[in-house]
A = this chain, B = another copy of it.
């Protein structure tokens, strides 16, 4: 649920705390926010030191003043709880709040995101702060959203966390016998005979028991969710109707975001694509589109783009500038995929410390006669024209399974091709054929309801969780098409191999079994033939025995020449090898036709991409050169207000928002 406003949010993190001695700058901020068509500011992400200078002594006067000032200008506030960075006095007075790392070194005060998530003391101090914020600002008309902490994640191995881990395990397993079996501790004689023997994984202790590692990651994830829930409860205490979010991160797997999202009213995330850097824009757009879709799919609702850079991103190895127009294209890409906002980190560049060169709306010189300020303002105007897009929903017929626990299990793998596991790359490579064709895709995990889709693709579904197989069976029975690949159906939720071998519980559905899997050294490739076309095979090649499945393609090299490489068993497909993506492109193209999947109504040159949201089609030119496209019928461009008909020129980085009849 997005704040009840009828406009798209446009705003930034506003770390006014750094400018308290410069009233002139604080004044000027308000003028320039208006000038750049901002309507929201995120406050207080790093505000704790200012609000509570010593234990229990609170002073909200500065924050009061800023919120009032913004409110006077009609600018809304997203109010953050400041738990992401605790004050120095807190760490000094209560060392318990500091983390212990996996080597069991007690960390010192510093950086951010480094509190022990178990610490009862820290939880209490956070709750006390949050309740005060809730009470003071929770019904303020400017405050439109709560922003819980900041980019949650990390790990702590202190004694408190060890105890919590053991409790979590007791709750899960009941007794040690169950745990020993789930973790296969008979391996290497690791059988645990008392709970106290169990510790979190460590490079100077145990790190090769997969079930233990998995449970540790589950525990960590649960612990952050529980920490967040405590904060949510606190802010809701006096502010039950203001929606709550927290900001997620690109391919971050420290927390199971599907579980976390359930606790939030709105999902938001921080998006820092590497535009105009090492790779062509289409490739960057593709990765980013995948993750926007992943974020939207968490709740199946519009989301919030909480952070992005209006310019370069300092922590990237090469801080490249965005070329002209890329800012708008990047921002509207988020909107196209379901965002109801475009927000920046940050409003004004910090004077010092590690993020001082992060792109911001205002750079150190505070000038508004710059290219960046002008592109931001132009975008602000355009967002105003797109008011009608706010809240528009996205409904897709294709789902790709991206499962965090599966990602964890794949990380544990000791085998196959360890230097090229490439789970994320494979997901994106499966997504690309749809993205190229303007076909919308949801990104969900195994817990999702898949019954409404026509096509479900589950690449590298190494871990198959309880219940998923039945769901797939029902889906297929219902006419759905299911595609999976090599390295699927290997282990259960405990990372224990299925004892019928791969593809484990999917064997019947797929009508085949995998006898062996070859891994190819870097530089060695096989070929696969299908319908007279030849595909390259890298990294991984299954040697499959069909148990009824139809063979669509076979290897044409190596000692497994002639062996099936792509199989179809009714509505279930198995891709037995890793290609460069061209096999997926051909297969998904064919399936898209067969299933009449809805696609964006236009034809474009390479690199011109269409994304549908509700009744709007966003068309982007990510081809790095001026290009052309033709809408299937005349449509109105919301940005220019003009009707678009026949072949249209779209300049490099160009974007149009077309209303489909």
Q: Which A residues are within 8 Å of any B CB, using their own CB?
A: 15, 17-18, 20-21, 46-50, 53-54, 82, 85-89, 91-92, 101, 103-105, 107-112, 181, 183-194, 196-197, 199, 202, 204-211, 277-278, 311-312, 314-315, 317-321, 323-324, 349-358, 363-367, 370-372, 413-419, 491, 494-502, 513, 515-522, 543, 559
Q: Which residue of B21, B112, B193 contacts A88 across the interface (Cβ within 8 Å)?
A: B193
Q: How far is the CA of A358 from the CA of B87 in the complex (A)?
A: 49
User: Given the complex, which residues of B lie within 8 Å of A181, measured CB to CB?
Assistant: 21
User: Given the complex, which residues of B lie within 8 Å of A314, measured CB to CB?
Assistant: 414-415
Shortest CB–CB separation between residue A389 and chain B, in angstroms? 29
Shortest CB–CB separation between residue A501 and chain B, in angstroms? 3
User: Given the complex, which residues of B lie within 8 Å of A196, measured CB to CB?
Assistant: 92
| A111 and B496 in contact, given A501-B364, A516-B370 (Cβ under 8 angstroms) | no
**Are B18 and A501 in contact (CB-based, < 8 A)?**
no
**Are B418 and A350 in contact (CB-based, < 8 A)?**
no
Q: Which of A88, A207, A496 has the most CB of B within 10 A?
A: A88
Q: How far is the CA of A497 from the CA of B355 in the complex (A)?
A: 11
| A191 and B87 in contact, given A209-B353, A365-B513 (Cβ under 8 angstroms) | yes
User: Given the complex, which residues of B lie within 8 Å of A365, measured CB to CB?
Assistant: 499-501, 513
**Are A321 and B92 in contact (CB-based, < 8 A)?**
no
Known: A46-B188, A321-B516. 16 other contacts (CB 8 A): A18-B184, A46-B187, A85-B188, A89-B197, A109-B205, A112-B188, A209-B353, A318-B521, A319-B519, A324-B559, A351-B497, A351-B499, A354-B414, A356-B414, A364-B502, A370-B516
Q: How far is the CA of A363 from the CA of B520 in the complex (A)?
A: 20
| A371 and B186 in contact, given A204-B105, A204-B107 (Cβ under 8 angstroms) | no
Shortest CB–CB separation between residue A503 and chain B, in angstroms? 11
**Are A86 and B189 in contact (CB-based, < 8 A)?**
yes
User: Given the complex, which residues of B lie within 8 Å of A109, measured CB to CB?
Assistant: 197, 199, 205-206
User: Given the complex, which residues of B lie within 8 Å of A111, measured CB to CB?
Assistant: 188, 205-208
User: Given the complex, which residues of B lie within 8 Å of A110, measured CB to CB?
Assistant: 202, 205-209
**Are B516 and A211 in contact (CB-based, < 8 A)?**
no
**Are A349 and B497 in contact (CB-based, < 8 A)?**
yes
